[in-house]
Each structure stands twice: as C-alpha cells, then as structure tokens.
Amino acid sequence: MKSELIEVLVPIPLMGKFSYLPPKNHISPLEVGSRVLVPFGRRTLVGVVWSFTKKDSSDKRKYRHIKELLDETPLLNTHSMNLAEWSSRYYHYPLGEIISYFFPPSIRKGKEAKFKESKYIELTSKGSFLSEEELSRAPNQKKLVALLKEKKEITLQSAKAFGIGTSVINGLIDKGYIKRFARELSPYKKFENNKLLATKKLNPEQIEAVNTIKKAQNKNITFLLDGITGSGKTEVYLQAIQEVVNQGKQALILIPEIGLAPQAEERFKEYFGDRVMSFHSAKNDREKVDAWLGASRGLVDIIIGTRSSVFLPMKDLGIIVVDEEHDLSFKQMDKFRYSARDMALYRAKLEKVPVVLASATPSLETLKNAQEDKYTVLKLSKRATGASLPTFQAVDLRGKELYEGLSKELLEATRSELLKGNQVLIFLNRRGYAPSMICKVCGWVSNCERCDALMTVHKNPLKLHCHHCEAQKLYPNKCPSCNSNDFLTYGFGTERIEEFLQNHFPDVTTLRIDSDSTRKKETLNEYFHEVRKGKPMILLGTQLLAKGHHFPDVTLVGIIDADSGLFSADFRGSERVAQLMTQVSGRAGRDKKPGRVILQSYCPDHPQIEEIITGSYNGFAKKLLEERKSSKIPPFTFQAKIFAESPKSLVSRDFILNLLNKTKIDEKIRANVRIVGPLPSIMEKKSGVYRWELSIFSKNRSNLHKYLDIMQSRLYDPKLSKQVRWSIDVDPLSSI
Ligand code: ADP
Ligand code: ZN
Ligand code: ZN
C-alpha cells in the first residue's frame, strides 16, 4: 500500500518543500493551511501543510513523522496559499519563507491563534446531580456549587469576588464535581449602524468616482483614482467602501507610511466607528494577533495597514485600496523584495474584487497601464474644499547671498505668512546638521569607512553618523589626519536650518519633523496634533512631511533645494523628484486659504523645474513615459536584477561573471533578454561589503521569469560560492 506523504512549507531559505509522514496516532485528516511542528535536522520547526502526495513503492527514502498538528482548522485559506505560491514564483523567493509573512510573529513561532482567554468554571454532570447535603461539612464548596447551579458558569476572577479561594475550587475539581474551561474574549463587537457617521457632500467628479467603484463589486476591476493633492480621494474611497462593508464584506486599505496610520485610522473611525482596525509594525504582538484574528474571522470590517498588511488573511474581502500607490515604501528592499501594490493587484484578481490605486502622482508603471486601458481612470481635477492649487515661484540662487541656505525671498515670504497668522512648511530632504565635514588645513573629509559615502554631522547629540550603514563616531576634536581643529561643516541638514530659523524667528515655534526627531512611537502623531491646532509656526522637515498629510493652515511651502535629485544616476530619479516636489507642494493651501510654493534652485531653467512650476505632474509624466519608451526601459520593458555582495569587490563581480558564463541558457530564452552588467552598484561599498549587480531586461515577462528560473536553480547550487550573498530583485525600484 502507498502511504500518504504530507508536503510541508518550512521557513528556511531553500526552494524545496519537505515531505513528512502524518503524525503518529493521528486519526483526523490534516488540512492544507494548518500549522504543524516538524523535525528538521536537529531542530523542530513550525511549518505549514501545503499538499498531499503518495509515497511511491520505488521511493526508498526514510521520511520522518510530523510531530504535532497545531491547528485543527487551517489558519490560511486557499486564497492566501495561492497568493503565496504566486509571489514565490514571481519574486523567485522561497515559498517556506514567504508563508511566514502571512502570520504575526508569535503565531509564526507556533503560539495558539486565539484572542486573550478568560478562565471559567462550571459543574460537571456528576456535579449537577449532587445534593447539597453531601457537602454540608464543606460550607464554601457548598456555596460554590449553589452558585454554579444558579449561574451555570462563572469566571475564576468572579469566584474570588464571591470569597471563594483556589483550594475550594481545586477540592471540587478533585472530586470531579466541577471543571475548568477557557473562552476567548473577542475585542470586537458587531457594529449595527449601516450609515456612515459623518459624510461630506461630494462634488460631481467625486460622485461619479464613488458610483463607478460601487458598481464594480465582486468584479476584478483596477481603478486609478488620479486626483490632484487635496481633491478628496480619501473621501471617495471612504464612501465607496461603505457599500462593500454594508454587504458584510471587508476592505483592506494599504498606506505607505506608518506615520500616516493614526490620521487615516482617525478619519475612518469618524465614519465607521469600531469597525476599523490598523495593522503596522508599531503594534505590539497582542494587538497584531487581535487584528489578524479579527480580519481572518471576519470580525473587523476595515483594516488599514502598511505594506505587510497585504498578507493578512481576510474572511471575505470586498475591496482593496492602495493609497499613494506610487510610494516606494510599498516595495520591500531586502530579503523578499515584493511590491505590496503589485501583490494587492494579484490578490484582487484571485479574490475577484476591485482595487483602487489612489495618487496625485501615479507611478509611470500605473500610468502606462491606464493608457493601455488596463485600468479604469477616475479623475478628480479640483480641490475638494474649493481651494485652488498653489502658485509657484522659482528663486534663482545664482549669485545670491544666502542665509544658511535660505534666500531673502523665502525668508521674507515666511515672515509675511507668519504675520498673517499662517503656517509655513520648509522642506529639505536631508536630516542631521550638515552632510559632511572637511578639514580646512589638509582637506580630510568625514568619509565612512564602511561605505562609499560621507558621514553626516549631527549636533544633537554631537556625533558623526553614516546614514547608509548607521555607523556612528565621536565628533573629532582634532583632524585625524593633521591634528588641526579648523573644520568646515559643509552643506545643510534639517538640524542646521532649525537652528537658524529658531534664531531668525524667535517668537514662533519651529517644529523639526524628521526621522531623528520622531524616533519615539507617539511623537509624530503628537507633532501633527500640535500643527492642527493652527497656531502660526514653521514646520521644517524631510519627506516625512510630504506624504498625504492634511495641514489646513499651511499657506507657504518653501523647498530649499529643488535641485537635489535632478542629476541622479538612476533613471528613475526624475520620476521620484517630480513626485516628491508635487506632493510637498500639495501641502500648501489645502483648505480655505490660498497657498504658494517657493522653490530655490541654481538651475531654474532645467526642464524639470519648469515643469514642476507649471504644476502639471501628469504633463511631465507623459514626457517621461515617451523617453522611457524610446530608450526601451521600464515600464516598457520588464526588469530584474541579480545582486551579489561580498567583502571583496572582485569576488562579487566574479561571482556574477561565473554565473553568466557557466549557466547554460536555451537560445530562445537568451535571445529574448538583454543583459547589462555585471556593474558595481551606484554605491558599490556599503556596510563593509562590495555590491555588484546584473540587470536583465525583457519585453516579455514570461521570458524574464524563465531566465530567472534557470539562474535561480544555479544560485542555490552549494558549490557556487559561500563568500557571496546574492539576491534577486524583480521590478527593482531603486539603485542605491
Ligand atoms: P486627498 O485624499 O485627495 O488628498 P482628502 O480626501 O484628504 O483629499 O480631502 C482633502 C480635504 O477636503 C479633507 O479635509 C476632506 O475632509 C475635504 N473634503 C473632501 N471631499 C470634500 C467635499 N466633497 N466637500 C468638502 N470637503 C471635502
Ligand atoms: Zn586636517
Ligand atoms: Zn556607512
């Protein structure tokens, strides 16, 4: 007879699945999606049941038994399993590791998938036939039995409140009269109200958009909600979701940044009350497990979360929204290099639900798909509050006297807005005090020893800090090379501008908002509350400020350095700059007061600056798309990269050369890909390792995947090289 084998996904970085025999003494059948404990080498690992096969009589291998089944009912449904399988093939990453992303950490490690439990006691059947006289010599036991006859069950805690101690309970348990049991305490209540708690009257474009999305229920349609900053995109998807939720289905909202979660959650709660839950890395394990259980058991209607929420199992998904779909944070940049946006698109296809991609600055990938009618475009061309888009002014910095990087024009405009009682946002995408430090005597510079980069000077606390590898050093009192102490701190970071603005405008608050000033979990949200109080102040910060926030009293946005990023070595550089500038500018004049934007630039006639000044992201994006098309780069071809890193530059390079030269590729596949490299990465040395990469382009996705499949099987060859760490990146987004 053939015996049954169970294929189990195990969280290890190997592509295979592993087969086991069923647990000994196990009668009920195992199901796909349940967790099991399996022996693996000398370890015991938590795996997930993937499929069943039969053992062939010719198969002489010795299989081990599954040690234990952890879940009677599977934790992952078919949709989740299919999504995992697809992403493993698409991103060329081990399925066993991917499956870990579908669980919160403690459940991944094998903890019970349950809400917090309360312990109860109740009578056994023997206990319920007990006559009270039998306990006449134990008055407390008698009291408890009477209590349980009346109430059927009580919690251990309330037993204490009735004056009944542990020994009384244990005494009755020993006699077999009562027993303990546990029951989960769900933190969710079913929400009865079907109406939105507070809604705005929509304008005609918004109405059209809401209705179109509502009609797409149970259909896999992708919408591009393309609306200028402040056009009421959030309002649109909020109202579209209402219909979904009223039909008992769930909505998943992906947001790019954990900093946006409190604002989004607050806004959703205004409308949907307790049916909303958020999921992100600042939640503790209990909260994560609760949200996860709430989603998978269908107790929560709306989940708002960052990238990793795309893996949340949902009982009955009805719609997915990807807000700020262009944002780079949706892409994981190491290990499993998935794009949450693209996974959301595939997930929606699997579950036959609509997806809304919302952005004021859609990615070129998305715009191309929209142009090709793969997506349905919903346009919002006006600001929802009736405000107009801000006006733009470029300040030509050539030959100008500057005050710590700020022009007279920007300073005067700031003063005048503050005097009117408004708020000003000053944007500089560089944290720290100054990006470098130079010895004036011998020319020593603050290089990082582990990276091809300079260490940034930080003043508070005083130190040198590399923003690429996080290395930190004491601030040198003397030049390490010539012992002089005559230094120049070169360039500007947010700390330096903060210091200047505080001196220049001593009567108003300058709030610096960057990842240094907001390290603590709650600070960012506290800052935003402070801003919303509306007092005149200067908000100074990095891209943290650019994303999605609604600051009604900001009337002026000053961009200190509009040129940074214009001359990037990455072909995606100009797309990023245009998105960032448009988003930052979009923080101005969002409410009743009109806004303006001042851009400081040394090259105001650069086509990109001109384009931003006219305020047309879409016009600019169209031109970029044409350029990309004629140079045959993404999104007009598909790209993947193979990275190699090691402590020696040539070892990384040779690893890739070796891979290229020694891998036999079918001529048909080879003819349909274009290989560029190996080339050193833009920052070759980072964190002490040297990084080289190979780019593979193809007009056709399936060819790209076939090529990667072959490469991947070679990469797992243990003979290849142990000194090199490699990775595959499909649809790479950044070259740094
Ligand atoms: P976006 O998501 O496009 O940036 P929001 O949905 O956040 O825009 O809307 C910007 C502001 O306009 C918010 O304060 C929102 O409450 C308000 N708003 C949205 N739609 C309307 C409307 N139809 N009438 C009045 N105010 C609106
Ligand atoms: Zn020196
Ligand atoms: Zn470094």
Using CA atoms, how far apart are residues 674 and 667, in angstroms rounded to an integer? Answer: 13
Alpha-carbon radius of gyration of the chain: 30
% of the chain residues with pLDDT over 90:
65
Of 677, 678, 674, the residue nearest 700 (C-alpha): 674
Predicted local distance difference test score (pLDDT) of residue 2: 55
% of the chain residues with pLDDT over 70:
98
Least confident span in 111-125, 314-328, 416-430: 111-125
Specify if 736 maps to a domain.
no
Q: Residue 232: CB within 6 Å of ligand 1?
A: yes
Using CA atoms, how far apart are residues 722 and 368, in angstroms rounded to an integer? Answer: 41
List residues bridging with 36 in a β-sheet. Answer: 47, 69
For residues 174 and 210, membership in a common domain is answered with no
CATH of the domain at 723: 3.30.70.600
Q: What are 277-281's contacts with CB under 8 Å, separation 24+?
A: 277/302, 277/303, 277/304, 278/303, 278/304, 278/305, 279/303, 279/304, 279/305, 279/306, 279/308, 279/309, 279/312, 280/305, 280/306, 280/308, 280/309, 281/306, 281/308
Gap from CA of 148 to ligand 1 centroid (Å): 56
Question: Which of 225, 234, 265, 326 has most ligand 1 atoms within 8 Å of its beta carbon, as the pocket-test mutant?
Answer: 234
Specify if 545 maps to a domain.
yes
Which one of the ligands is nearest to 469 CA?
3
For residues 265 and 327, membership in a common domain is answered with yes
Specify if 518 maps to a domain.
yes
pLDDT 10s digits, 76-106? 999 999 999 999 999 999 999 999 999 999 9
Confidence of residue 549 (pLDDT cuts 50, 70, 90): confident
Helix count and strand count (H, E) for the chain: 22, 30
Opening angle at CA 356, ends 353 and 362, nearest 5: 145
Predicted local distance difference test score (pLDDT) of residue 344: 98
**Distant-in-sequence, close-in-space partners of 559: CB < 8 Å, separation ≥ 6:** 427, 581, 584, 585, 597, 598, 599, 600
For residues 344 and 209, membership in a common domain is answered with yes
**CA nearest ligand 1 atom 26, residue:** 385
For residues 226 and 371, membership in a common domain is answered with yes
For residues 595 and 722, membership in a common domain is answered with no
Gap from CA of 445 to ligand 2 centroid (Å): 8
For residues 255 and 355, membership in a common domain is answered with yes
Using CA atoms, how far apart are residues 728 and 336, in angstroms rounded to an integer? Answer: 9
Confidence of residue 304 (pLDDT cuts 50, 70, 90): very high
For residues 681 and 712, membership in a common domain is answered with yes
pLDDT 10s digits, 312-370? 999 999 999 999 999 999 999 999 999 999 999 999 999 999 999 999 999 999 999 99
Q: Which position has the token pair 């079918």?
A: 666
Report cis status (omega within 30 of 0) of the bond before 678. Answer: yes
pTM: predicted TM-score of the whole model, two decimal places: 0.92
**Distant-in-sequence, close-in-space partners of 443: CB < 8 Å, separation ≥ 6:** none
Confidence of residue 557 (pLDDT cuts 50, 70, 90): very high
The full length of the chain comes to 736
Q: Which position has the token pair 């929209």?
A: 370
Of the three residues 108, 136, 152, the one that is the final residue of a domain is 108
For residues 616 and 721, membership in a common domain is answered with no
Is residue 129's pLDDT more than 90?
no
Q: Which position has the token pair 């944290």?
A: 431
CB 65 within 8 A of CB 20: yes
For residues 364 and 414, membership in a common domain is answered with no
Q: Residue 201: CB within 6 Å of ligand 1?
A: yes
Ligand 1 atom at minimum distance from 235 CA: 6
Specify if 605 maps to a domain.
yes
Confidence of residue 568 (pLDDT cuts 50, 70, 90): confident
The terminus-to-terminus CA distance of the chain in angstroms comes to: 57
Is residue 532's pLDDT more than 50?
yes
Is residue 736's pLDDT more than 60?
no
User: Token digits for 498?
Assistant: 């903060």
What's the average model confidence in pLDDT over 115-134?
85
**CA nearest ligand 1 atom 23, residue:** 202
Look at residue 618 and give its three-state secondary structure.
helix
What's the average model confidence in pLDDT over 170-175?
89
SS (H, E, C) 10-49: CCCCCCCCEEEECCCCCCCCCCCCCEEEEEECCEEEEEEE
Predicted local distance difference test score (pLDDT) of residue 722: 78
Q: Residue 230: CB within 6 Å of ligand 1?
A: yes
Least confident span in 147-161, 239-253, 449-463, 501-515: 147-161
Specify if 163 maps to a domain.
yes
Predicted local distance difference test score (pLDDT) of residue 1: 46
As residues whose CB is below 5 A from the ion ligand 2, the structure lists 439, 441-442, 444, 479, 481-482
Least confident span in 416-420, 516-520, 649-653: 516-520
DSSP string of 332-380?
Answer: --SSS--BHHHHHHHHHHHHT--EEEEESS--HHHHHHHHTTSSEEEEE
Q: Residue 618: CB within 6 Å of ligand 1?
A: no
Of 426, 427, 422, 429, the residue nearest 589 (C-alpha): 422
Gap from CA of 418 to ligand 1 centroid (Å): 25
Predicted local distance difference test score (pLDDT) of residue 198: 64
Predicted local distance difference test score (pLDDT) of residue 222: 98
Confidence of residue 150 (pLDDT cuts 50, 70, 90): confident
DSSP string of 230-270?
Answer: TSSHHHHHHHHHHHHHHTT-EEEEE-S-GGGHHHHHHHHHH
DSSP string of 100-114?
Answer: HTTS-HHHHTT----
User: What is the number of domains present in the chain?
Assistant: 5
What's the average model confidence in pLDDT over 209-234?
95
For residues 501 and 605, membership in a common domain is answered with yes
Question: Which of 327, 385, 388, 584 has most ligand 1 atoms within 8 Å of its beta carbon, as the pocket-test mutant?
Answer: 385
Specify if 242 maps to a domain.
yes
Determine the structural domain holding residue 343 and report its residue range. 204-380
In single-letter form, the type of residue at position 695 comes to S
Gap from CA of 187 to ligand 2 centroid (Å): 63
In single-letter form, the type of residue at position 24 comes to K
CATH of the domain at 169: 1.10.10.10
For residues 210 and 359, membership in a common domain is answered with yes
- 489: part of which helix (H) or strand (E)? strand 487-490
CATH of the domain at 87: 3.40.1440.60
Gap from CA of 575 to ligand 1 centroid (Å): 26
Is residue 7's pLDDT more than 80?
yes
Of 338, 346, 274, 334, the residue nearest 308 (C-alpha): 338
Give the full edge-to-edge strand order of the sheet including 153-155. 153-155, 117-123, 178-184
**CA nearest ligand 1 atom 19, residue:** 232
Using CA atoms, how far apart are residues 598 and 630, in angstroms rounded to an integer? Answer: 33
pLDDT 10s digits, 242-270? 989 989 999 999 999 888 888 888 888 88
Of the three residues 380, 411, 442, the one that is the final residue of a domain is 380
CB 597 within 8 A of CB 615: no
List residues bridging with 48 in a β-sheet. Answer: 9, 35
Predicted local distance difference test score (pLDDT) of residue 161: 85
Using CA atoms, how far apart are residues 608 and 629, in angstroms rounded to an integer? Answer: 18
Specify if 291 maps to a domain.
yes
Q: Provide the strand spans (E) within 491-536.
A: 509-513
360, HSE (Cβ side, Cα atoms, 13 Å): 27
Gap from CA of 331 to ligand 1 centroid (Å): 27
For residues 93 and 146, membership in a common domain is answered with no
Q: Residue 550: CB within 6 Å of ligand 1?
A: yes
Q: Residue 532: CB within 6 Å of ligand 1?
A: no
pLDDT, the chain, mean? 91
Is residue 512's pLDDT more than 80?
yes
**CA nearest ligand 1 atom 20, residue:** 232
Which one of the ligands is nearest to 386 CA?
1
pLDDT 10s digits, 21-34? 999 887 778 999 99
Of the three residues 627, 662, 695, the one that is the final residue of a domain is 627
Specify if 735 maps to a domain.
no
